[in-house]
Structure 1
Amino acid sequence: MQKLAKREEQIMQVVWQLEEAFIKDIIEGLPEPKPHYNSVATMVKILVEKGFLQAEKLGNTYRYSPLVTLAEYRKQDVATIKRKYFGNSFTKMLTHFAKEENLSDEELDDLVRLIKSQRPANS
């Protein structure tokens, strides 16, 4: 799966949230300053070509929906970050974010509980 450029990712975030969208819906969901209709249409066409979106023709227009889920993209993106910046070590990555984000005691406890819940019962 390819990495999305910043504007492509913004467009996908809107489509992921809406589940189905026309170009005008995508533009409404993008941050200010709003890009021109033709610019968004071009980016959406690229996302269709890359396999991130599918287009359904409805009359004279198209409705777009995601072919790649947010969860699938996030998983790939996190794996890339882990490999690229943390030597493919989940522990190093988690340690980095735990220190940098100044997690509260409650957040740390939640994280420990989550990690423990992922272990097999006979560990």
Structure 2
Amino acid sequence: MDAKTIEALHLSIAKWGMNANTARRSRENKWIVRFGALATRTVIGVGHQDCALCKLFYRPGHRCEGCPISAKVGRSGCAGTPYDVIFDMIEAGEFVADEKLVAACEAEVAFLRSLLPAEA
């Protein structure tokens, strides 16, 4: 894995860590969850616009070619990762921060960390 990909992977891990913190705060304060293209302290970022790996590897028509996530799961769009749970929540209109959302964000962090090479 080259240095640019490792850096993007670290940035993606940080983003999902922030998403997990936002989910925890939302659950504790009983806020309605807001999903958006960009992660903030009050919005869980789920868009490819906010993903450092997507910025390197996402191309319409050649989705995710070269991305370590796609290489691991053999699919594009982060399908087959803990992100599926979050995507399903959005599709179902579930905007309540609960343990399921927190666990999915934390699982995505763990999954991304598992992709780091030993020397990173």
Give the TM-score, by structure 1 length: 0.32
Larger RCO, structures 1/2 (Cα 8 Å, 6+ apart): 2
More strand by share: 1
Larger C-alpha radius of gyration, 1 or 2? 1
